[in-house]
Amino acid sequence: MAWLIPVLLFPVFGTLFYVFVQLQMETKIFAKRIAEVQKRTDHFLEQDTAVYERLSRRSRRNANLSLYMKKSGGYPTWDRTNFKYFPLGDEFYTDVLQELQKARRYIFVEYFIISKGILWDSILKILEQKAKEGVEVRILYDGMNSFSNLPHDYPKELEAKGIRCRIFNPIRPAISTSQNNRDHRKILVIDGHTAYTGGVNLADEYINRKVRFGHWKDNAIRLKGEAVRNFTVMFLQMWDVCSKKPDSDFDYSPYLDTGDYFHSPELDMDGFSIPFSDSPIDGEPVGHQLYLDIIYQAKKYVYIMTPYLVLDDDMITALTYAAKRGVDTVIIMPHIPDKKSAFMLAHSYYTELIEAGVKIYEYLPGFVHSKTFVSDGEKAVVGSVNMDFRSQYLNFECGVYIYENPVVEQIKKDFDETLPKCVAADRTVDVGRMQEKNGLAGKHPDGMIQKKKRKRAEENLLYSLPSFSFSGSAAAVLTDDSARSRKEVAPISFL
Active site residues: 184, 186, 191, 369, 371, 376
DSSP state of 301: E
Contacts of 194 (CB under 8 A, 6+ apart): 99, 222, 223, 224, 228
What gap in Å lies between CA 204 and CA 186, rounded to an integer?
15
Torsion from C-alpha of 302, 306, 310, 312, nearest 10 degrees: -30
What gap in Å lies between CA 207 and CA 108, rounded to an integer?
21
**Residues paired with residue 21 on neighbouring β-strands, in sequence order:** none
> Would you say 356 and 325 are in contact if contact means Cβ atoms under 8 Å apart?
no
What gap in Å lies between CA 343 and CA 87, rounded to an integer?
23
What gap in Å lies between CA 306 and CA 320, rounded to an integer?
17
> Would you say 72 and 210 are in contact if contact means Cβ atoms under 8 Å apart?
no
| Helix intervals (H) in 160-283 | 228-241, 253-256
> Would you say 472 and 152 are in contact if contact means Cβ atoms under 8 Å apart?
no
**Residues paired with residue 84 on neighbouring β-strands, in sequence order:** 222
> Would you say 278 and 398 are in contact if contact means Cβ atoms under 8 Å apart?
yes
Neighbours of 304 (CB within 10 A): 25
Neighbours of 200 (CB within 10 A): 30
